[in-house]
Structures are given as C-alpha cells and as structure tokens.
Structure 1
Amino acid sequence: MSLALFATALLTTGCAGSGTGRTEAAPPSASAELLEPTAFADVVAGEEAFVINVHVPDEGSIEGTDAAIPFDRIEQQKAALPADRGTPLAVYCRSGSMSADAVATLTELGYADIVDLRGGMQAWSAEGRPLLPPG
C-alpha cells in the first residue's frame, strides 16, 4: 500500500463517527492567563481579584494576598474561596507548578477568570519585588 493511500485510509477511518449522530463536547480546559510579575503586580494592586497563595510549605507571600490555600487542599477548603464564581482569581506559588495544579482544580469548581504568576514567587523576587515572611 502506498504511503498516500495509507494516509487517506487512516484519515477516512479515523474521522468516521460512531453512527449515533451524537457528538461529545470537549471538557473545559484548565487554563489561566500566565502573567509576568509586572502584570501580576498590577492585578494584585487592583481590588477586583481575589489573590491566593497555593504554595506549601509556607515560604512567604506577596503583599495583598487574600488567602493561603494549599494547592492540594483547594476542594476541601473551597469555603475560603469567593462564592461568586465570576470573581477574578490571581493564583501563585513558589515556582509555578503548584499553581498550575490549583488552576485545574479551580476550573473544575467553576471559576473561569484566573491569572497565574509565571515563574511564581521566584520570578517575583528575581525582579526585586518583596515577599512577606512566612507565617
């Protein structure tokens, strides 16, 4: 079988429906707008966003943080989150990996307006921005 014929056969059968006439909707993707420290600072300075530190263990925080909720405890501590799912959220951790997990959970809980600090507190500090001490 030639490569072109094989590719055509693969595309034809790979795209065939199940014959039910139904289509499945793609699940919502867990995504947030990744912001550099300067843009994230602007969000934190505003009064619209609810700012969440999701890093564990506590290694400090950004001034203006509204809540410290461990990334892996968000669902259990959802009472600490805004009741209005339309509230903008600003999420950060130390390096960005825990906040990515937090964004996925927050999206599953129905929050859609989420920004995430690219590079976390490490990037924040690298730009000379202060962190509040742990505790």
Structure 2
Amino acid sequence: MLAAVALLGVAGCGSVEQGSAPTTTAGSGPARLLAPEEFAAAIAEPERVTINVHVPFEGTLPDTDLAIPFDQIESRQARLPSDRATPIAVYCMSGSMSAEAARTLAGLGFTDVVDLEGGMLAWQRSGREVSSSAG
C-alpha cells in the first residue's frame, strides 16, 4: 500500500507532455488521476466538490468550490463535506500539491477523490481557460 501511495506521489509531480494521449490512472492510490477532458466532466458533476489546493494563488478553474492550501487540508476539515462519500476533485499548478492533498483526503476517509493529472498546466495545454481571479 505504501508503494502505491509513493508511486502516486511521484506520478503527481509529472505533467502531461503536449501531444500525448490523455490517460486515466486508476488503482489503489488515494485518488484517480484524470486527464483534463475527464477532469472537466468530473468537476461539472453538481455533487462533486472541487478544491484548488495550489499555493500561492496562480489561478482557478471553472466550477471551483473551495480554495484550501494543500498543506492545510487537515487543519481546515470544517470546510470539507461531513459526508466522506462526497465526491471530491483536487488540482494545483502541476500535480504535486494535489497529489499530497489527495493522500490527506484519503487519510481523512474520503472515498471518491479525483486529481487533475498535470494540474493547471495540462489544463491550459488542452486549450482550456484558467481564470486569474480568485472569485
């Protein structure tokens, strides 16, 4: 199990190369990594809570519900849904902070967490917009 978590942490640090095929990595890790197209569909789900975990602030995606720094997820649990089955989506700039946030959320008992593979950088490379305003 630790190996799977460590592997997810390493995978979360990478970014999707331009021109590569989008992929979804499913496994025993704390989150499913989704390519930008799949992540866009996931965050459009009304029941999914989308969290920008990047610090410092460098932009936000559409349909973002919360901004909680990746290293403050545990200390700001009161802002998270009380139902640990609530679907969660996390993202950051490149994927490394969101991978850590996903591990923390899994440790808190969240069972449906998706993470934007390659972060906002991959999102932009896929032709999608990142807003520069916080609200």
What is the TM-score with the length of structure 2 in the denominator? 0.77
The aligned residue for residue 60 of structure 1 is 59
| Cα distance in 2 between the residues matched to 1:96 and 1:31 | 14
What letter corresponds to residue 31 of structure 1 in structure 2?
P
User: Percentage identity across aligned positions?
Assistant: 53
What letter corresponds to residue 68 of structure 1 in structure 2?
A
| Structure 2 stretches lacking a partner, 5+ long | 6-28
The aligned residue for residue 18 of structure 2 is none
| Cα distance in 1 between the residues matched to 2:124 and 2:47 | 24
Does the Cα contact within 8 Å between 1:71 and 1:98 map onto a contact in 2?
A: yes
Runs of 4+ in 1 over 4 A off after TM superposition: 26-30
1:134, CA displacement in angstroms?
3.7
The aligned residue for residue 30 of structure 2 is 31
Does the Cα contact within 8 Å between 1:51 and 1:66 map onto a contact in 2?
A: yes
1:103-129 Cα distance to aligned partner (Å, 9 max, x none): 111011110100000000000001110
| Structure 1 stretches lacking a partner, 5+ long | 1-25
| Cα distance in 2 between the residues matched to 1:106 and 1:31 | 8
Does the Cα contact within 8 Å between 1:34 and 1:117 map onto a contact in 2?
A: yes
What is the TM-score with the length of structure 1 in the denominator? 0.77
